[in-house]
Structures are given as C-alpha cells and as structure tokens.
Structure 1
Amino acid sequence: MLRRLLAAVAGLLPALLTVPAATAAPASAAATPATASAPARATASGAACADPAVRTYGPATVTGAIVGAAVHDGRAYVVTRGPKPPVLAEVDLSTRKVIRTATLPDGPAEGAPEGGWATAVTGGKVYVGTYPVPDLYSFDIATGEVKHLRSFGRNGGFVWSLAAAPDGTLYAGTYPGGRVFEYVPATGAVRDFGVLAQGERYVRAVAADDAYVYAGLLDKAKLVRIDRATGKVAELASAPTGVGAVTLHGDRVLAAAGGELIDVRKDGSDLRRVTLEQGSIDAPAAMEDGTVYLTSRPDGTVYRYRAGDTAFTRVADAPAPGDESRRIHRLDADTLLGFAGSGGLWWLDLRSGASQFVDLLEAGLPPGTERVQSMLLVPNRALYVGGHFVMEVRDLRTGDKRRFRVPGEPKDLVRRGDKIYAAVYPSGQMISVDLRTDEVKSVAFLGHGQQRPWDIEYDPVTDKLLVASAPLGANLKGALTVVDPDTGAVDSYVDVIPDQSLMSLSLDSRRGVVYLGGDVLGGGGTPPTRTTASVAAFDLRERKVLWTVDPVPGHRTFQDVKVHDGLLYGVYKRESGTWIALDLATRQVVRQGTIAGYGELTVHRGRVFASVFRGGGNAYELGAEAKLLATGLGDEWYTNPQLHFEPGSWYAWALVGRELARIRLDPSCPPLTIPPAGG
C-alpha cells in the first residue's frame, strides 16, 4: 500500500526532477548556471572554467510529514513538517480527503516557521505553535482566516506543546527557556510562569483543567503542576527519562516518559507506574471511559491501559509500522484514529484489530520541499537522498525518480556491496537498503540510549559498520558502535571519550584505527564536565583507545573529522568557523584557520574539501589555508552540508537551497557565486 502511495507522489513532480547521466555534461534547459566573469581556461578534468558550473534539478526530497494534529467536529487538522511555509490541512474524516489548506505566514520575528508541533482547538479556531520561531497562530474554522498572534521567543525556539483549558485559555510549553506561557484568546493577554526547573530547556508536553496546568519536562525528567491562579509550581512525579506526553482523565494525570507510563492523582498521591517490555511510549490518549490507548516506538504496536493495570494489553499490530504517532483519537466505541508522523492517517477497528492507512499526499495534501538529512552517490548509477521517513532515488542513467519509506530520518549513509546502510534517528536503528530492489530491512539497534547516530563508515578489512552517536536528553556519554551487517551483532563502546558524545568518526582502514570527534555537551540538558572537545584514536583490532588529545582549548564540539595523508582535519561546530589539521604522529595542530561555519569534510582526488553552513553556504578546499571554491549553496541542509564528488572529475552533487544540484568545484577555477535556486 505505502509503496504504491509513494510511487504516486513521484508522479506529481515529473519534469523538474530529470537528472542527466553523471558522466555527461548536463544540458537541461531548466538548469541554472553560476555567475562567472573569468575567461575560459582548461581545468585538470578538461572542462572550461567559463562553462556553466551549476545545474539544479528541482526539490531534492519532498514530504507530506506532519507534526501537530487535532480533531474537531468530523474533521482532522494537521500541520506539515519541513516545508516553508508550513501548511495547515483540513481532512474530512468521512471522505478521507484533504478539503482545505492554509499556509502559516512568516511572522515579524527573525526566521521563518517550518512546522507546528503544537495544536489545540477552542472557540471555533485551531491554534498552532510553530518552530524554529516559537510563534502562535490561529486558523478560523468558519472563515479559513489565518492570523499571527504572538511570538514567545527568538529564532531557534519551539512551541513544543499547546493545550486549551475548559475556559478557552491556552497554555504553551516552549524551548529553549523551558517555560509555560498563558495566552487568553479574547484579550491577547500573555503571562509567563517563569522557570519551572533550574536548567530545564524543554516543556515537551502540557495539559490543563479548571485550576491547573500540567507540564512534562524533558531535561529534568519531571511531571509538574502549575496553579493557574498563583503560578505556584509543584512536582507530581519524577521519571526515569524526559516526560514527553501528558493527558488527563478525571482526577488523574497520565504522563509518558520513555517506556514508562506515570499514573498519578492530580494532588500527587497514589502514584502508579507501568512499563513497556521494550521501546518507548508514543501519544498516550485517555478516552471518556478512562481507557488509555498508546503506541510503542519504534514498532508502532497499539496498547491499552486502564487504572490499576500492572501491565499493558496489546490491542493490535502496528497500523503504521515503524512510524511515530503524533496523536490518537477515539472516533467511536470501536474505532481509533491515529496520525502518523511520516504523513498519514490510520483507522483501527478495536474489535478485529484490522487497520487502514491513508497517505496524506494521496489524500490531497500538497507535497512540500523539505530539508535533506543525508545523501549518497552510487557512481554512474543513482543518487540516494534521505528525507524524513523517506528515501528518494534518482537514477543517473535514465533521470527517473522514485521514493520509498524508511523507519525514521537517515542521518548518514554508507555503501557496502549491493546494499546501502543508514543510521536512523530517532530509534537509533541501523537499516539496510537493497540497491536492486529498494527492500528495507532492520539490521540492529544501537541501544544504551544512543538514539542520535551522527556518522557511519564501513570498514572493508573487518567487514563491519562503525557508528558515532550521542544519547538523547541529559546524558553526556556517547558511543562508538561496531555492527556486523550480516548478523546484526553489536559491540558498544559507551563513554569511549569520557563524558562526551560522538559527532564524527574517520577510518584509517590500513592501520585499523578509527578516529573519533567528541562533543562535551552530550545529549544536552546537563552541565558538561569538560570544556574542550577531544579526539581519540581507537584500535579496531584490540578494541581499545590508543590515545586522546584536546586539540584547541575551549572548543567544545567537533562537527566532523577526516583523516588524510597523516593529518586529521577537523571542523568545530559551537565555535563555528574554526578548522584544524592535526599531525597524527606528533598529535599537534599544524594548521588552523577560519571558514564561514561548520559542516562536513570530504577527501577527493588527494584533496580535502569542506561544505559548511552560514555565510550563504560555502565550499572550501582545505590545505595550507582555506580556499573558497563556491558561495551561495544556502543553509538548507537539515544535518551537515555535504559534497558527493563523481569519481575522476571535479563535479559534486550537493544542494543549492533545497534543490538538488551538480556543481563544478575545480580548485584551479575562480570561486563560484551561485544564484539562489527556486523552492
């Protein structure tokens, strides 16, 4: 079903996405040449510097992914994730079709909304809280009018959660201040309840009744109650991990924290806890009779809980396998409605366990261009682009395009033979993709709380996959994980750099050593114990750390590291713009400089290249100094900006804005200034 639905989406974007063979100079009429005034001169690859240096091919990946969701009067309201501007769509639940859409306009604050996690319905209006600008919007159900109401912070913030009290007053949980704001629709009055816990950044969930607001804190792993009249804060329960969802029924509050459901009276008494055997809880929802339905992540199985139960009861297999549940709603006594984060609705018959799934793109949601998670070039064959719960493939021989679903966000990709392996967030899962059939299989889970895989490489000597990762939440300890791609066996080296997560790794397969780049902030939310990010050399044969060094004091996060010709090149993130080259023999920094921002390193034809955020989106060659090769690539990657060079040439596949582009990055040519792409 889903394969068929996704195939239908590919048909929505026919002409824009035709890609010529990678070995030929593209000649598309829709191509966008870079500006250039230099005279033509031959390059090492035989191309001329005055030839068109940039071709764009339309959106790199499109999406129907959603975050916020609500139900009201026979209609579902969903908010998209990723495209700018975000779309609010109204779905008729009887016909299962999108019947109306509206965009959320850019507000006055710096930045632009890309989605809305938080939704609530009250007083005939749908309210939406957005990110990465933490703003509040309203959508009038009767007229379709959209209004920007309020900003709750600066660009880079989130309205993570939104709840309407019985009197219509709204409560918004925000990041990064970890605050709850009150908004009165009738007057526009705003009230800030202040810091709920020292050092907290995320109010991930809120619920409200006549007297109180109940908030789930992610970093400090607490369920708290706020007195609406006095603003007094009381702790109702602590949790083993961050509290990500809160729902109410009668005199009880139910909150999800990882795999644990907290069930407590509103006064903090009669605390009960029930835990899933494996996985974490998604979207718990209390029904009128007190039954709580929920799904488990990452598999998506549906469970039931009733007050007093000591275990969850399995209701049905996953209606949307491997997906995230944004909301669950009971339509009638026998039917549950679920909202899948990848962009779909599912209906579950509680009597039979049978389910139906409708893809929102097929139902009429306009496809939007999203930020790219990852990219991999299979030379002369195909280009793979990772999006949100989807992989898009462009056949470089025919120009055809296809897409298929994957269980999460592929943060990095690597090839081994006829398979691609992806490190997936938020499950911390390794998956394989068959190059011949597009078959997706689960290989292994990293475990140990390592849900943020950042970098992956394949070691042909040991035939193993190497993964660098960070934990979620208030945890400093990252891991190097060695995965057997055939058996799924996992060897984990947690805290391999003490009190640092891992953002990057680089393999020297001849020496059997992998070099690791650290981050002192870990998963965030807890004070670091160190002030300087480390590099560690790890022996894959002996499975031990050979040495650790702190190259630049006070620099806290390596975004990427890459070994080449006896040097380890590194780009820092928090101290954006710093790059180094570390002599591996002496462990001393022998080169250091500044570039526009941070991103990913690539070694090609004996040279080291960097593609970075900021300054318009730039590409450099790193040698004795940084040489600018191109500017104007944009800042639209979701993870790290990447370059994927074609073997034997200076052409690389990358992004210009959010469009796929093939760019000439010949170091012997003058720097390119690339005009903005569409979308």
Structure 2
Amino acid sequence: MHADGGGGAPGGYGIVTAPNGDVYVGTYGDGHLYRRAAGSNSTIEDLGRPRPGDTYVFAMTIIDGKLYGGTYPGGAVFSYDLATGAVRDYGRMMDGQLYVRSITSLDGIVYAGTYDCHIFAIDPATGVKTELPQPAPNCGNVSDMNAIDGRLYARIGSSIINATEHVYDPASGTWVGSIPNVAGLSLSEVGPDGKIYYMHTDGAVGTVSRFDPETLAVEKTSAVVSGRVVNNRGVGWMDLGDPGWPGQTLVQVLWRGQVVLYNPQTDRSEVRDAPLSGEPIRINVIGADDEVYVGGYLNGGIAAVDPDSGAKTFHRFAQGESILPDGDQVWLGVYPDARVYAWDRTKVWHNPAYSPGPIGSVDNPTLLHDGGPGDQNRISAVADLGNRVAFGTQPNATLTGSVVVVDKATRTPTVWEGPIADQSTVGLAARGGTLFGGTSIIASYAQPAPTTTDAHLYALDPTTGELKWSVVPSPGAPAIRGVEVDSKDRVWALTNGALTSHNSRNGDLMRTIRLTADQHSGRLAGELEYDPEANVLWALVQGSKLYAVDAQTGKARLVLERPMLRLAVSSSGTAFVSSNAELLAVEFNQG
C-alpha cells in the first residue's frame, strides 16, 4: 500500500497503530519515536527521543490516548500523549535492569517486562508499580507480552526464537498455565473458532497452532513454515474478500518479510513473499580474501563481493558475527546460539532454515556446532590454526564464554570454557599452534552486570585447553577486540586509543604505541588486522579512525577518518572497512 523511509534510524523494534490509524514506530540506534499519520499521502514525522540517553525504544502499547514504551539502556517506561506530545518518564523499573523489551496494557494497567524475568504492573495515573510473582525461578527474559480477553500472556525464556508462553490471570493474581515452544512475537486475538493462534517452533520448522484460552489445550494446524527462526512481526485477522479464503483469515508477517496465511474454515494455508523492496542494512562483519564476505546486522544475510567489479551474491542467513575465508571454504560464526558453519563455495547454497536451494540439495553451509545448549550466544572472534579453526563465544544469561576449536578435516568441535572466568573471548589470533585471545567483561547483552573490571589478553593451548598466561594491557578497559600476531611473534592488542605489543611466551609488555586519546566509544569498537607482506598493522580505533602502523618502527599514519565499524585485510594487502551499509576498499602506500 505504501512505503516510506524512516528518517535517520537504522531500524525499529516497536510498532503500534493508534485508533485513528496513525502508526508509531520506536527505533534503535537513535531511540526516537516516529509517526506516520493515516492516509496515503502522509509522511513520516520524527517526534524526537522520548527519554534522553536511551538508544532503543522497544515494544509499545496505546491506552486512553497515550502511548507507552519501554527502553534500553535505561530499562524504563515512558508515556507520550498522542494529542499534546507531552512525555512522562516512569523511570527505571528495577535497579540493575537495563532492558524493557516487552510492554502491553490490560484493564487500564500497563505491564512492562524486563530482562531477568521481572514483570511490573504500572498504574498510569499514579506511576505506582507492583511486581508480579515470577512464573518459575530463573525463568529468563520477558521477550514479548500480549493482553487478550482479560489475561496476560508473557513469552519468557533464554532464547529469543523459542520460549515458553506463560499465562497470568490478573483477577486471581496467579499464573494459570503455560504453552511451550512459542516462536513469538505476537499471539492472535481470539479467532472465529474461539481459539488463540500462534507460531509453534521445533527448531527446524514453524507450525501455525492454536490453543483454547480456557483449557490451554494446544492443537497444531496443517500450516507449516520452514526455518529455525519463525518469529512473526505482526499477526491479525482479515477478510481477504476472496471466496477462496472465506470469512476471517489469519495473517502473519515473518521476520524475513514473508506473509503466512491460514484459514481455519478451510484449513488452507499459503506463504507469500511480501512485495517490499529491501533496504541497505548495517554491515556487522567482514572477511576478506580473493572475495570479500560481509554479514548484515539483525536482518542477517551473507554477501560475497568481487572487490574488482563490485558484483555481489547474497544469501539470506543468520546474523553473521565472524567470517574466515579459507580457500574454497568459508567458516562462519553466527548469532544467535553461537553457531559455527562451514560453507563450501564450490557447491550449491542450501540452508533450509533460512534460504533453501533446489530440491534434493545437501545442507551448505553445514552446521558444525550449536552453542545454545551451553548458553552461548554471540561469536565475534575467529582465528586460523592451520588444520583447525577457533572461535570465541559470548554467553547469553551468564558471563563466562568459551573457545570452540573445530578440526577442519573431521569437522569435530572441541569446546574450552573460559578461559578467563566471568569473561568471554571477543578477539583471537593464532601463531605456532597457540591461540591468543582478547576478552570482554560484558557478555552478549548489557546484562547480567559484569563481576570483573579489566579485560584480559591471554595465550591458550587449543589442544589441551591450558591457559598459558594472561595479562591486563589496560586496567579498566571493558574489552579487547583487536588481537594480532606479527612475523616476529609479537602479540598486539588494541585497547581504546593505544596499541600494545607483548612477548608471546609470557605476555610481558614490550611496547605501547599511543594512537589517539582514550575515549568512550562503545564496547563494540576496536578492530585490528595484520598484513604480513607489508609488516603493517591496520587499526580501526574508536569506530572512526583507521591507522596503518609499521610493526617494526611503530610509526602510525591516520589513513581514514569517518564513522566505521568493521575491518578486514585481504592477502593482497587491501583493507576493507564498513561504514554503516557501505563497504570501502582502502589502499595504502607506505612511501
């Protein structure tokens, strides 16, 4: 019907429609609220940031002429008066809770769900909030909530793609039951048959299912959707005006842009591609060799780019976090569940979970490791050990990560926990059969709160899991993402605005090169790559400065200054950097 740009925001989680047809969107990156008034000729209006300092506006709900939204990192709830534009701040829901990811309203009360299984009932007039009892101990994150016919439905668990729907009765103040394996994010309103519909998931396919709101008895329908991620981003009942779809038809929009139709009267179902054009998304990871490989943020996908012609091949896939080109093989680390895949570039792409190939194709990329059962979630570090490849992972609801070492011949993974307690590995390099890693004191998300204060640089035996040494290059630094080893076996670490080199045998500090003054630049900033032919270290500092550093003399040159996030260097010595959705090639002549 209509498509329009979203201002300066990279994307939005929350969307809600007012009774008059106006559409409101809460965005991430800028934490703004946007409105598109009803009508085909309307444009998007930026209503500003409702809560200063917060960069995410998650789910939203509207009651009595006011919009209520949840935020990150403030972990707060705000209201926005649709008529006057007045904003009221209800504050952080609970000390230590940075996320309010879910929100809904029922009988004049606003319900807000936080990261660690806390749900609050808020009186909009007085601002008084009361915490509900937890449905189970340590039950996980409150990912989404729905209010239907006097009951509150809260999807809670450690996974964002498969969790348990808990049912709360406000009249009795008790949790009355639960439904497992719900993909989210939304449940339907009660259908023409008196049932509530949702997407069930078994980790491989989604099934449109329904339950009786009184007994919670579940029944699966014949409608099946392929894919391990089958979250919907909206669901409702519609009269399609088509005799082939009589009465009310259930319509769901999936995260990947497909529309799922199911008619309970005829048991007919169909999956359609939505007629929407794609939008450029932020590059989240780069891997470079003869071709350059990039992965997208949130929406995911992997693109292979010819650096000479710019021609690209795209495959719908998970959110890539680490990429290692290795001849005809490309090793991939993806989010969520810190999964490891091997992609054979000589064979047909076929991934039934995201983008199936021709009928009869074998899986390619091949799944080699799933970190979900071990509570591992992100996987942003990778290093080549010759006959093995190593990945560093970050946990979901705990603090201790792991190192996953995969044998290239047998494809067998070995997992070493840690090796630094309550920290996770976010930078890796390898030399002479030893792994060198940089850690983060923060896990996949900003919660749980860190228990340590200093990121470590360490050496690990990948065969035995023995920690050979660990040092703190920069006290107080939360993360060391950039780790490299040069041709003289010096281990380099990029920490904020400084490079340090260390003895590979014991970690002793050998040299410090100050590139720029330290400043707060976010826990994701900082990338380091080494070009052995030129003996040059490429350092992407604080998300905005790209330096070329002579590893022998320590001489540093500022090559490029602009917003940048990711860095990779090809075997030919070309540096590739990302700037939002753009991929840039940087050539540098030392002379």
Scaled by the length of structure 2, the TM-score of the pair is 0.83
1:326 and 2:247 matched: no
Aligned to 1:521: 442
Following superposition, the deviation at residue 150 of structure 1 comes to 3.6
1:468 and 2:392 matched: yes
* Structure 1 segment 462-611 matched on structure 2, within 5 A: 464-473=388-397, 475-484=398-407, 489-508=412-431, 510=432, 512-523=433-444, 524-564=446-486, 565-572=488-495, 576-596=496-516, 598-606=525-533, 607-611=535-539
Q: For 1:155 and 1:184, how far apart are their aligned partners in 2? A: 20
Q: Secondary structure at the match of 2:141?
A: coil
Aligned to 2:545: 617
Comparing 414-423 with 316-325, greater Cα deviation is found at 316-325
Q: Residue type matched to 1:192 in 2?
A: D
Following superposition, the deviation at residue 286 of structure 1 comes to 3.8
Q: For 1:305 and 1:579, how far apart are their aligned partners in 2? A: 58
Following superposition, the deviation at residue 182 of structure 1 comes to 1.1
Comparing 561-570 with 293-302, greater Cα deviation is found at 293-302
Aligned to 1:28: none
Q: Kindly provide the CA deviation profile for residues 273-308 of structure 1, in whole angstroms up to 9, marking residues without a partner as x.
A: 53646xx73313142235241344864513444446
Counterpart selection for 1:459 from 385, 389, 392? 385
Aligned to 1:101: 3
Residues 456, 465 of structure 1: 8 Å contact kept: yes
Residues 222, 235 of structure 1: 8 Å contact kept: yes
- Shift of the 364–618 alpha-carbon distance from structure 1 to 2, 3 Å rule, reads same
Counterpart selection for 1:244 from 123, 139, 143? 143
Scaled by the length of structure 1, the TM-score of the pair is 0.73
* Structure 1 segment 283-294 matched on structure 2, within 5 A: 283-288=185-190, 289-294=194-199
Q: Kindly provide the CA deviation profile for residues 483-504 of structure 1, in whole angstroms up to 9, marking residues without a partner as x.
A: 3567664433233210112211
Of structures 1 and 2, the one with the larger relative CO (CA 8 A, separation 6+) is: 1
Q: Residue type matched to 2:338 in 1?
A: G
Q: Residue type matched to 1:386 in 2?
A: G
Aligned to 2:252: 338
Q: For 1:559 and 1:284, how far apart are their aligned partners in 2? A: 36
Q: Secondary structure at the match of 2:474?
A: coil
Residues 497, 541 of structure 2: 8 Å contact kept: no
Counterpart selection for 1:627 from 549, 556, 560? 556
Give structure 2 stretches of 5+ with no counterpart. 158-162, 240-246, 350-363
Following superposition, the deviation at residue 140 of structure 1 comes to 0.9
Residues 348, 356 of structure 1: 8 Å contact kept: no
Q: For 1:216 and 1:329, how far apart are their aligned partners in 2? A: 23
Q: For 1:459 and 1:276, how far apart are their aligned partners in 2? A: 41
Following superposition, the deviation at residue 636 of structure 1 comes to 4.2
Q: Secondary structure at the match of 2:455?
A: coil
Following superposition, the deviation at residue 551 of structure 1 comes to 2.8
Q: For 2:211 and 2:537, how far apart are their aligned partners in 1? A: 54
Q: Number of aligned residue pairs: give it.
A: 539
- Shift of the 545–269 alpha-carbon distance from structure 1 to 2, 3 Å rule, reads same
Q: Kindly provide the CA deviation profile for residues 381-418 of structure 1, in whole angstroms up to 9, marking residues without a partner as x.
A: x3322224222223457654322211x11111113442
- Shift of the 324–395 alpha-carbon distance from structure 1 to 2, 3 Å rule, reads farther
Following superposition, the deviation at residue 329 of structure 1 comes to 2.9
Q: Percent identity?
A: 22
Comparing 541-550 with 248-257, greater Cα deviation is found at 541-550
Aligned to 2:32: 135
1:260 and 2:143 matched: no
Q: Kindly provide the CA deviation profile for residues 424-477 of structure 1, in whole angstroms up to 9, marking residues without a partner as x.
A: 11242222322123513341312212111111233323xx3321111235x211
Q: Secondary structure at the match of 1:568?
A: strand
Q: Secondary structure at the match of 1:413?
A: strand
1:114 and 2:114 matched: no
Aligned to 1:164: 62
Aligned to 1:425: 335
Q: Kindly provide the CA deviation profile for residues 188-212 of structure 1, in whole angstroms up to 9, marking residues without a partner as x.
A: 2221112211111111011013420
Q: For 2:571 and 2:176, how far apart are their aligned partners in 1? A: 58
Q: For 2:145 and 2:543, how far apart are their aligned partners in 1? A: 41
Q: Secondary structure at the match of 1:643?
A: strand
Counterpart selection for 1:234 from 103, 123, 130? 130
Following superposition, the deviation at residue 168 of structure 1 comes to 3.1
- Shift of the 401–150 alpha-carbon distance from structure 1 to 2, 3 Å rule, reads closer
- Shift of the 311–140 alpha-carbon distance from structure 1 to 2, 3 Å rule, reads same
1:645 and 2:555 matched: no
Residues 133, 155 of structure 1: 8 Å contact kept: no
- Shift of the 290–489 alpha-carbon distance from structure 1 to 2, 3 Å rule, reads farther
Q: For 1:604 and 1:621, how far apart are their aligned partners in 2? A: 10
Q: Secondary structure at the match of 1:120?
A: strand
Q: Residue type matched to 2:10 in 1?
A: E
Counterpart selection for 2:97 from 190, 193, 200? 200
Q: For 2:515 and 2:204, how far apart are their aligned partners in 1? A: 42
Aligned to 1:659: 582
- Shift of the 276–585 alpha-carbon distance from structure 1 to 2, 3 Å rule, reads same
Give structure 1 stretches of 5+ with no counterpart. 1-98, 106-111, 669-679
Aligned to 2:175: 271
Q: Residue type matched to 1:124 in 2?
A: G
1:281 and 2:183 matched: yes
Residues 317, 353 of structure 1: 8 Å contact kept: no
Q: Residue type matched to 1:223 in 2?
A: I
Q: Residue type matched to 2:511 in 1?
A: R
Counterpart selection for 1:301 from 191, 202, 206? 206
Residues 260, 270 of structure 2: 8 Å contact kept: yes
Q: For 1:562 and 1:664, how far apart are their aligned partners in 2? A: 20
Q: Residue type matched to 2:582 in 1?
A: E
Q: Kindly provide the CA deviation profile for residues 354-397 of structure 1, in whole angstroms up to 9, marking residues without a partner as x.
A: 43130x4xx243x4332212223342xx3322224222223457
* Structure 1 segment 5-20 matched on structure 2, within 5 A: none
- Shift of the 613–295 alpha-carbon distance from structure 1 to 2, 3 Å rule, reads farther
Q: For 1:275 and 1:500, how far apart are their aligned partners in 2? A: 34
* Structure 1 segment 355-366 matched on structure 2, within 5 A: 355-358=270-273, 360=274, 363-365=275-277
Q: Residue type matched to 1:232 in 2?
A: V
Q: Secondary structure at the match of 2:583?
A: strand
Residues 263, 271 of structure 1: 8 Å contact kept: yes
Residues 394, 400 of structure 1: 8 Å contact kept: yes
Comparing 330-339 with 257-266, greater Cα deviation is found at 330-339
